[in-house]
Amino acid sequence: MDFLIRQARPDEYAELGEITAQAYLQDGLLDFGEGDAYLAELRDVAKRAAAAEVLVAVRDGVLLGGVTFVPSGGPMSDIAGAGEAEIRMLAVAHAGRGQGAGEALVRACVERARAVEGCVRLVLSTQPTMRAAHRIYARLGFVRTPERDWNPMPGLLEIALLTYEFTL
């Protein structure tokens, strides 16, 4: 793993937003494609960085991907409860996949969660088709929590988001 994991810089927000948006679009993860309202959220890294910690994987000055780490609640949290941190919007550029960047970003979130006082778990939501991410989570010791699965748009989306947790 010859890349660096660090906090995203403001001059990288637009690029990371586009990497994230394209990863979701190219993988067919947005139910409404280019018209999906969530696409604007994926691109708005500045908004995420104002409410949480945005990490990036960089190699030789090239941005490979990023993730949002939510230490405890707040506007960026979807499912985290008391004593839980959350991972959101993990994405790696297609050209950078298969090189360990996604796993390194998740590991960095685990380490950050361990440093949060009172944090006992790291949680996340994922789509059923995100199989490569599921393999990363399983490899790192995350376990499925089907009782927490949820649907962000009940009545509009057929498939609920799957949830995982990592006990610290």
Q: Which residues pair with 84 in a beta bridge?
A: 121
Q: What is the CATH number of domain 4-167?
A: 3.40.630.30
Please check the confidence at residue 153 and state whether its pLDDT lies above 80: no
CB 6 within 8 A of CB 58: yes
Strands (DSSP E) contained in the chain are 4-7, 53-59, 62-70, 84-92, 121-126, 143-144, 162-167
pLDDT of residue 33: 85
Confidence of residue 160 (pLDDT cuts 50, 70, 90): confident
Write down the domain spans for the chain: 4-167
Does the reported pTM lie above 0.85? yes
CB 38 within 8 A of CB 17: no
pLDDT for 35-82, tens place per residue? 988 999 999 999 999 999 999 999 999 999 999 999 988 889 999 999
